[in-house]
Structure 1
Amino acid sequence: MRRPFYHYLMTVRDPHKKDAITLFANAVYLDDGFPKQSEDYQEISHYLELNGDYLAEMTTFDLAWERYVDRNKE
């Protein structure tokens, strides 16, 4: 069983780095409504489209999702 996407994001949080995925992960950490147990791309994407004001571009989510999927292949 793979870990939820949220757990992956928490591994890339960093208060000092300023790249897009790290900033996204830091913002998700502060988002109480984020679907923390989800492993479903569509569910998370829909949530971010409606509530992810902190996400400048959905391409950041897509890139983070690709890395999440790649990490779960290992």
Structure 2
Amino acid sequence: MKDHSFYQFALTARGRKDEKGELAEEIFDDLSFPRQEKDFHILSDYIEMQGNYTVSMSVFDSLYEEYTEWLKF
């Protein structure tokens, strides 16, 4: 089982030609993003309240779900 932050996982989605790739780029460009965080609620609140993200929260939800699956292997 992996022990990586959501930020580390999001970097693996950079370059995708979909909304998840867009979100990953926005996270990468956000210098204030909580890079060591793993908690869904903290990350979700940050993206909703603090960031200037253009993708919908459902994209974050989907990427976070992918992250939890990725951690298992």
TM-score (norm 1): 0.89
Please give the per-residue CA displacement for 1:7-61, whole angstroms capped at 9, x wherever unaligned.
Answer: 00001111xx430000100111000110000011111011011123223210000
Percent of paired sites with the same residue? 32
**Stretches of structure 1 lacking an aligned partner (at least 5 in a row):** none
Q: How many residues align?
A: 72
- Tell me the C-alpha RMSD between the 2 structures: 1.2
Match of 1:53 in 2: 52
Counterparts of 2:49 and 2:32, CA distance in 1: 11
> Which structure is higher in RCO with an 8 Å CA cutoff and minimum separation 6?
2
Segments of structure 2 that go 5 or more residues without pairing to the other structure are: none
Separation of aligned partners in 1, 2:54 and 2:33 = 13
Give the whole-Å Cα distance in 2 for the aligned partners of 1:56 and 1:22.
Answer: 10
The one-letter amino acid paired with 2:9 is Y
